[in-house]
Amino acid sequence: GYIIAGIKSVQDVDIGDTVTRLGFADTIEVLPGYRKPRPMVYCGIYPTNPADYENLRKGLERLRLSDSSLTYVPETSSALGLGFRCGFLGLLHMEIVQERLEREMNLDLVQSAPNVNYEILMNNGEVQLIEAASELPDPTRFQEVREPIVRVSNIVPAEFVGAIMAICTDKRGEFVNQEYLSKERVIITYDMPLAEVILDYHDKMKSATRGYGTMDYELRGYKAGDLAKVRILIAGEEVDALSMIIHRDFAEQRGRALLKRLRDQIPRHLFVVALQAAIGGKIVARESIAALRKDVTAKCYGGDISRKRKLLEKQKKGKKRMKMVGNVEVPQAAFLSVLSIDGEKKAK
């Protein structure tokens, strides 16, 4: 048989939901062991062509039919336009979803750097959950920011114990336990911020253990930390997709590291592009992308030097006008630069 539910959106139901007759909901036991999946990693997905927005929405709806752990809500970015804020179970889940959207829907997508959600304790005692740095309220409105903490279990060869402990400490990890499975294999357990794990912890762990290490993690809860929002400005405009919430001890250093990577990723324009990192109202770092130079005096053969000066002055005024209205092209690689800045940070 079949039922007609009159469902308007695929997000109204999940795989594992129990269907009952009207009025019998309290007498029926739900499917035992089922828990609604909770996203752990968030990022923005935007079409490079604004006309593909509707196709992106249809693609997400199609994936949602077979993957109830995927969540998405529409959002607008000042730098990237219309898109969706998507939630995933992890980095691998995020990569698979983007790959399927591009392949099955024939889309060209831009993905912002992944981040985690934070709990904000407001001054009135209310706890708000935010999924992006751009959603962080004004500092005068809240008491503290709490970040998600995960318990990471590393199974590694005994000879690499010291290297793994050093990496965990550098990631603000707190030692929990160490257990020898045998003379050759050890389980090392640390509690550390999820934001540190999703950056490049897996890659560093694999590199330190020459590929022999494995890891798993589970959410333990939220913990208050001394966190700060780092805003990234490109040509004077804040790019919300590049904003980060980082521990204050490393905020300035990571901001500088990100600007250096952005300088290498963003192509040169006909005007100087200023890259700035700001914490609150203070600019803590700056990089500049030099302008492309066009030789406007190439056709001047000899003659009065004043002619060349007039051409150069005209070019200078034109570049000044272009700088005021020019749009800076920011490629996909620049938004993923956040993932690789951790190598610039040193433990304190």
DSSP 165-195: HHHHHHTT-EEEEEEESSSSEEEEEEEEEHH
What pLDDT score was predicted for residue 180? 93
Tens digits of residue pLDDT in 5-33: 777 776 677 666 777 777 777 777 766 66
The more confident residue out of 17 and 160 is 160
pLDDT at 325 over 60: no
What pLDDT score was predicted for residue 189? 95
Domains annotated for the chain, with CATH where assigned, are 41-112 (3.30.70.870), 122-225 (3.30.70.240), 229-314+333-344 (3.30.70.2570)
Closest CA to 251 of 271, 276, 278: 278
pLDDT at 139 over 70: yes
What pLDDT score was predicted for residue 24? 72
What pLDDT score was predicted for residue 335? 66
What pLDDT score was predicted for residue 160? 92
The pLDDT-based confidence of 346 (bands split at 50, 70, 90) is very low
Distances (CA, A) of 306 to 183, 302, 303, 309: 82, 11, 9, 5
Beta carbons within 8 Å of 268's beta carbon, 6+ residues apart: 289, 290, 291, 292
| Mean pLDDT, range 133-150, rounded to an integer | 88
Q: Are 221 and 38 in contact (CB under 8 A)?
A: no
Distances (CA, A) of 332 to 78, 110, 139, 340: 15, 6, 31, 14
Q: Are 257 and 345 in contact (CB under 8 A)?
A: yes
> What share of the chain in percent tops pLDDT 70?
78
Tens digits of residue pLDDT in 181-233: 998 999 999 999 988 887 778 878 888 999 888 888 888 899 998 888 888 88
The pLDDT-based confidence of 41 (bands split at 50, 70, 90) is confident
What pLDDT score was predicted for residue 237? 82
pTM score, whole prediction: 0.66
What pLDDT score was predicted for residue 302? 60
pLDDT at 324 over 50: no
| Mean pLDDT, range 89-98, rounded to an integer | 85
Tens digits of residue pLDDT in 237-296: 888 778 888 888 888 888 888 888 888 888 877 777 889 999 888 898 898 888 776 554
pLDDT at 94 over 80: yes
Mean pLDDT of the chain: 80
What pLDDT score was predicted for residue 319? 45
| Mean pLDDT, range 120-134, rounded to an integer | 88
The more confident residue out of 25 and 63 is 63
What pLDDT score was predicted for residue 90? 76
Distance CA 87, CA 64 (A): 11
The pLDDT-based confidence of 176 (bands split at 50, 70, 90) is very high
| Mean pLDDT, range 123-138, rounded to an integer | 86
The pLDDT-based confidence of 50 (bands split at 50, 70, 90) is confident
Return the half-sphere exposure (C-beta side, CA atoms, 13 A cut-off) of residue 78.
11
Distance CA 61, CA 67 (A): 10
What pLDDT score was predicted for residue 338? 59
